[in-house]
Copies of this chain bind each other. A is one copy, B any other.
Amino acid sequence: MSDAKYVYAFGAGKADGKAEMKNLLGGKGANLAEMTNLGIPVPPGFTITTEVCNYYYQHDHSYPPALKAAVETALRSVEQIMGRKFGDNQNPLLFSVRSGARSSMPGMMDTVLNLGLNDQTVQGLIKQTQNERFAYDSYRRFVSMYGDVVLGLKPEGKHEQDPFEVILHAKKQERKAQFDTDLTAADLKDLVARFKEAILKRTGHAFPDSPEEQLWGAVGAVFRSWHNDRANEYRRMYRIPEEWGTAVNVQAMVFGNSGDNSGTGVAFTRDPATGENRFYGEFLINAQGEDVVAGTRTPEPIAKLNDLMPKAYSELEAIYKRLERHYRDMQDMEFTIEDGRLWMLQTRVGKRTGSAAIRIAVEMVDEGIIDKREAVKRVDPDQLNQLLRPIFDGADRTAAVKEGRLLAKGLNAGPGAASGRVVFSAPDAVDWAKRGERVILVRIETSPEDIAGMKAAEGILTAQGGMTSHAALVARQMGTVCVVGCSALQIDYNAGTMQVGGKTVKEGDWLSIDGSSGEVMQGQLKTIPSEVLQVLLLKTAKPESSPSYQRYDKLMTWADELRTIRVRTNADQPDQAAEAIAFGAEGIGLCRTEHMFFGGERIKAFRKMILSDTLDDRRRALERLRPIQRADFEGIFRAMQDRPVTVRLLDPPLHEFLPQKESDILELAREMEVSPEKIRARVASLHEFNPMLGHRGCRLGVSYPEIYTMQVQAIVEAACAVKKSGINVRAEIMIPLVGHAQEMQSMRELALRAAEGVINETQVQVDYMIGTMIELPRACLVADKIAEHAEFFSFGTNDLTQTTYGLSRDDGGRFLPDYLDRGIYKIDPFVSIDQEGMGQLMRMGLEKGRAQRKGLKVGICGEHGGEPASVRFCHRIGMDYVSCSPYRVPIARLAAAQAALGVE
């Protein structure tokens, strides 16, 4: 590092750096250099690199020895350009010192403005500007900013106000001034003295008069702010590595607050909310940039600048067009006008909403600015969600908040907005829905028994459980609005009430939940379905009448052209399957058969099967289930037409199908005409300490071959029936939880026998495969041996994560948030594939499988199949397809295209 260049200068049309050097100079520094090179007016300055930041942290808050000289040289160069001198009493040069990381972290780190002022140089500033009041205003702003940022004079405790504000307030009261602007130069000069006094008294350190000392103090403070709480939290949220570090930009001050011919503003080359191609921004006359951001004054729309300063405006107009053309993306710019002269302080790629991202990407292709490949890369797949979710009417929500009806906030598990009447049990949800009520199902948590109720509900709200809890999982697959883990709820099932936010909500009360924001609101908020959904699913709007749909469609068409990995869906019902096809699903990657056993007669027959004492009784009960299952599969095969459908045989442990509560046991006993003791005994005998690691998956198939036989028969019967009607059904029979080649071999033989039996009987030759779910570490380790007997692999990454980590999804909630907060886990492995750890097992499983069986079809059907980083990983390791819930299919398609374009 001894030969490294630590300081990159820019100014007067020439810069050491350029836009491509973001890693070294940060986004702001790189773009200041780029603009300078483009001949755009940028106040001269220099950037201290991110490498110095890392050095600073690795060397106990000290700098590389060569830095001092480099900074001196750069300072002299700025002085020369500006014709002013840093620390000069006659014609002083002032600096701003700003952070600038590789990725924008707006407002997270610290800034110092007007640096270089002291009791002497302020006199020079007066001379320069002929404006004593302005000079002292700048001085007092500098002292308070420096006192806060560099010297650490912050409010003490929760309730103290900002100490500088307190002094300012006192001064204004003394002077009976209403606004800051009512204070005179003398008042401001006095404030400077009082500020310095407060600093000395409360920090024990005098405010440094030496501009040199001020500069190094500010640089250190900016580096240190890389690790303040806000920045750490922000990095965690956006997964920004700590090792990136921040650069420091030291730049000659220009003043937007030097009079009514000055001003400052922020502008976008296009509308960041809607994406509309129009110049968009705001400005303030006679103000510094901080004033715009702070929101203390309401800024003017940018168009008004044309009226006030037409020259500066037309210059700005030329620059914004040039910058967008140059960067080929929507820009977010900061500018300052000093005494009529325009200076650009920053440009960067602008953040935007999902709708805006899509609109900008698509329109830029139409305008010939970017190509389709670039457009596909520009949209974060998760942003597509915003196009698909039903939404609350914004005005109605604002009114509700004003009325104090915002009760609590939970985790936004199922996107969209839902209003309905509160019920506290699944059967109630079904009953209420049957009589035409819209309901919100509120539970402490949900279980598979609640499935019918969850389906009947408009929205699901739980007090416990995370983003991958049962409620969240089912809700996402169903496309149901869902808020989970809303710990503020205190639910009393017996009373049929919940306490929240100081209020009592009773069964039947109206509630609105926003699955996009996690907000829980009292009463009934208006919802409107998204435009895209109106076209795609409801067909209530025509494609040609919806520009929003057309853009979505264009983007997805490009994505499909580019991607090489297929996208399937996880669906258990024909209507889900149809929905998924509308979203672009090319098959079903996971059809769970156990959901088919709940509800009405099915659960009765299934329970009868479980309570059977003999094989014959069990077979009889299964025979009653077979036509029901067959009908289910027929519906799905018809919906999917010639697309492949992977059906997983029974997976969960049998105890999940029996009631646990005494009252339910008594009822079941009556229903089944057996003794409650018998049911209790069966429940007890099926109890498991760790059901996740228990008697489930193919272990059930080994113990009760008759269950799997019935299921395979039903699948193949359905396939034969549908094939007869001319549809080329493609059934894939999936054996869950295989860990041993012998399990696979034995279950394959069973399935083959059952399938061939049906085919011989019906004489219909259907296309079917037998494969397995790879969801145990051991399955990955011996995948070659398993592949001898399996025609396809589907990674069940939910369970594979649980076993690889030794971490139950249901129980992890107690410490997982803490693990994420403290950065022990960088990602929630249930949300995004743990590529470092579990990814090795997946690669191994895939490679061993394909080594044994050339061209083995491999996919993923865990929740990860719809998460962009995971989809990209699946592409990279060579999977054939991903499968996810219907509403995530477009996201997966886009992510898959990005993966094909090499996005990591």
Contacts and interface: CB of A to CB of B under 8 A. Distances in A.
B840 A781 contact: yes
A776 B804 contact: yes
Interface stretch (A46-54, A807-815, A852-860): A807-815
A178 interface: no
Contacts of A785: 836
A690 B739 contact: no
Contacts of A742: 823-825
Interface stretch (A123-131, A157-165, A586-594, A693-701): A693-701
Contact of A778 (B694, B781, B805): B805
By CB atoms of chain B within 10 A, which of A694, A799, A806, A812 has the most? A806
Given A702-B822, A804-B781, A841-B777, A688 B811 contact: yes
Interface in A804-844: 804-808, 810-812, 814-815, 818-819, 822-825, 834, 836-838, 840-841
Nearest to A689: B810
Contacts of A834: 778
Nearest to A692: B690
Interface string A717-746: 000000000000000000001011011001
B799 A806 contact: yes
A804 B513 CA distance: 40
B702 A808 contact: no
Contacts of A812: 693-694
Interface in A762-789: 775-778, 781-782, 785
A746 B818 CA distance: 13
A811 B691 contact: yes
By CB atoms of chain B within 10 A, which of A781, A815, A819 has the most? A781
Interface string A662-690: 00000000000000000000000000111
A802 interface: yes
Given A782-B836, A805-B778, A695 B811 contact: yes
A261 interface: no
A904 to B, nearest CB: 20
A75 to B, nearest CB: 40
Nearest to A742: B824
Interface residues of A, number: 49
Contact of A776 (B743, B746, B806): B806
Contacts of A841: 777, 781
Contacts of A737: 806
A573 interface: no
A801 to B, nearest CB: 9
Contact of A815 (B702, B776, B782, B802): B702
Nearest to A810: B689
A834 B806 CA distance: 18
A814 B694 CA distance: 9
A702 B824 contact: yes
Contact of A838 (B778, B811, B815, B838): B778
A2 interface: no
Contacts of A104: none
Contacts of A702: 815, 818-819, 822, 824
Contacts of A689: 691-692, 808, 810-811
A173 interface: no
A775 B695 contact: no
Nearest to A823: B742
A165 B299 CA distance: 111
Contacts of A805: 693, 739, 776, 778
A740 to B, nearest CB: 6
B808 A694 contact: yes
Contacts of A825: 740, 742
A703 interface: yes
A425 interface: no
Contact of A690 (B740, B781, B810): B810
A214 interface: no
A741 to B, nearest CB: 9
A550 interface: no
A781 B703 contact: no
A803 interface: yes
Nearest to A703: B815
Contacts of A699: 815, 819
Contacts of A778: 804-806, 834, 837-838
A818 B704 CA distance: 11
A777 B807 CA distance: 11
A390 B338 CA distance: 99
Contacts of A819: 699, 702
A803 B775 CA distance: 11
A646 to B, nearest CB: 20
A193 to B, nearest CB: 43
Contacts of A782: 836-837
Nearest to A653: B811
A459 to B, nearest CB: 25
Contacts of A743: 824
A807 B690 CA distance: 9
Nearest to A799: B806
Contact of A693 (B690, B740, B836): B690
Interface in A410-431: none
B802 A693 contact: yes
Nearest to A744: B824
B818 A690 contact: no
A317 B781 CA distance: 56
A825 B699 CA distance: 12
A694 B785 CA distance: 31
Interface string A882-895: 00000000000000
A743 B825 CA distance: 9
A746 B824 contact: yes
A777 B829 CA distance: 14
A799 B702 CA distance: 24
Interface in A842-897: none
Nearest to A782: B837
Contact of A694 (B694, B799, B811, B838): B811
A54 to B, nearest CB: 18
A737 B807 CA distance: 10
A808 B693 contact: yes
By CB atoms of chain B within 10 A, which of A689, A810, A811, A840 has the most? A811
A683 to B, nearest CB: 14
A824 B815 CA distance: 37
B811 A740 contact: no
Interface of A: 688-695, 699, 702-703, 737, 739-740, 742-743, 746, 775-778, 781-782, 785, 799, 802-808, 810-812, 814-815, 818-819, 822-825, 834, 836-838, 840-841
18 contacts: A689-B810, A690-B690, A690-B808, A691-B811, A692-B692, A692-B808, A693-B805, A694-B808, A703-B814, A740-B824, A740-B837, A742-B824, A742-B825, A776-B804, A776-B805, A777-B803, A777-B804, A781-B804
Given A689-B692, A690-B691, A692-B692, 20 more contacts: A688-B808, A689-B810, A690-B692, A690-B693, A693-B812, A694-B808, A694-B814, A695-B815, A699-B819, A702-B822, A739-B804, A742-B825, A746-B824, A776-B806, A777-B777, A778-B804, A778-B838, A799-B806, A803-B803, A803-B804
The 6 A-B residue pairs whose C-beta atoms are closest, nearest first, are: A693-B808, A694-B811, A690-B808, A777-B777, A778-B837, A689-B810
